[in-house]
Amino acid sequence: MSADEARPTIFALSSGRPPAALAVLRVSGPAAAEAGEELAGAFPPPRRAGLRTLRDPATGDPLDQALLLWFPGPGSATGEDLLEIHAHGGRATVDALLRTLGERLGCRPAEPGEFTRRAFENGRLDLNGAEALADLLAAETDGQRRAALAGSSLSGAIVRWQEAVLAASALLEAALDFSDEGDVAEAVDVAPLLRPIYREMHDLMARPPAERLRDGVRVVIAGPPNAGKSTLLNALVGREAAIVSPIAGTTRDRIEAPVAIGGVPFVLTDTAGLRDEAADAVEAIGVGLARDALAAADLVLWLGTDADVPAGPGVLKVATKADAAPPANAGLRVSAVTGEGLPLLSGLLVERARALLPGEGEVALNRRQRELVAQALDDLRAAMAARDPLLAAEALRAARGAFDRLTGRAATEDMLDALFGRFCIGK
């Protein structure tokens, strides 16, 4: 039995849940052609849509009239035979087609991300392309969408890096293998080949990380008890995310609320009021969590006095209750009751946040990518500094290993499971 025959054929609904105008079902694997023939009879030509009547193979009863698209492997999205069925999107129709594929045709339902994983395993995209696709599917703001699309270009940059390192490695290997021959010099300077990609990788590492754009800029609202923190949070997110009460110390735990303001993703965090003497042990825990949140914040909205402003460049002083009480500090005056200052505060948050995010169309590295690029940079630095060609060649071999892990050629199974588990079923 060949490897293709051993691999099961999978199917899934790849469009949104019914009811809908249309439903797209995908079938991928060695039995995809057989499944299509049993459902529809004759196939349309590859990559051309054909209208067919789909029938239950057991009874011959019609199931639907649908468009079929046939993509023979390896030139398909998954790298193997792939059938797309564009059917009507009613629940009964979709259920009948899925049931027929599973019970009558010997296919099995796909697991989350299994179509994309097969594309990766068959060389249709590398690990960076898969991560960019996952970010694109999860994008909720226009900036996240653009960053995900830009992230797919990282694979092309890695190819250039690999080619430069391979060229340098070839020179060093020649020096090592043929150093006794007159036409190959023992001392080989590979720095001119490596400096351009070193600078490119260094510049890429200097950009803001992808997590901040994907997960949101973390904004912590902090200050003493009863300063209006929860009220401000609710006003900024436009809903009752936190309990508001005139009783000091109402907020005990951190309350996080994701929101997009001006197309920028934020995670706003309401915290327990900061004071030296907590009323009880539970409030003391809340104060500790508030201080931890302050330490991890990208931006801080400080509602306390000028004398207690936390240190750090990302602090915005906010004078709440501008409609009723004297300001606690000299910051921006806002009122959740009248709306005074809220548009200006939102604008300031967006302005500060954009400076912390990747630029328009820039590739941003996630944590996994940053660790591997940093390792490759160390290896390139060692190779350029080494006087012994043996040490330089070993450093370049290590850099190639980092690139292989970056593209997924040397990825671990656990890491792949975690990545492709982020995808929905049918993708």
Identify whether the C-beta of residue 235 lies closer than 8 Å to the C-beta of residue 266.
Answer: no
Q: What percentage of the chain exceeds 70 in pLDDT? A: 89
Q: Are residues 114 and 228 in the same domain?
A: no
Q: Compute and round to an integer the Cα radius of gyration of the chain.
A: 29
Q: Are residues 386 and 313 in the same domain?
A: no
Distance (Å, rounded) from C-alpha 191 to C-alpha 237? 52
Q: Are residues 7 and 74 in the same domain?
A: yes
Q: Are residues 349 and 221 in the same domain?
A: yes
Strands 50-55 and 82-89: unpaired
Q: Where residue 309 sits, what CATH number does that domain have?
A: 3.40.50.300
Q: Domain span at residue 226?
A: 214-354
Distance (Å, rounded) from C-alpha 414 to C-alpha 400? 22
- Total domains, the chain: 3
In a domain, 419, yes or no: no
| Phi, psi for residue 70 in degrees, rounded to 5 | -115, 125
Q: Where residue 35 sits, what CATH number does that domain have?
A: 3.30.1360.120
Tens digits of per-residue pLDDT, 144-189? 888 888 888 899 999 999 999 999 988 888 777 765 555 444 567 8
Predicted model pTM: 0.75
* pLDDT at residue 46 in the model: 94
Q: Are residues 172 and 271 in the same domain?
A: no
Q: Are residues 136 and 118 in the same domain?
A: no
In a domain, 418, yes or no: no
Identify the band that residue 114 occupies on the pLDDT scale cut at 50, 70 and 90: very high
Q: Are residues 243 and 267 in the same domain?
A: yes
* pLDDT at residue 23 in the model: 95
Identify whether the C-beta of residue 224 lies closer than 8 Å to the C-beta of residue 273.
Answer: yes
Q: Are residues 155 and 175 in the same domain?
A: yes
- Find residue 266's DSSP bridge partners: 217, 259
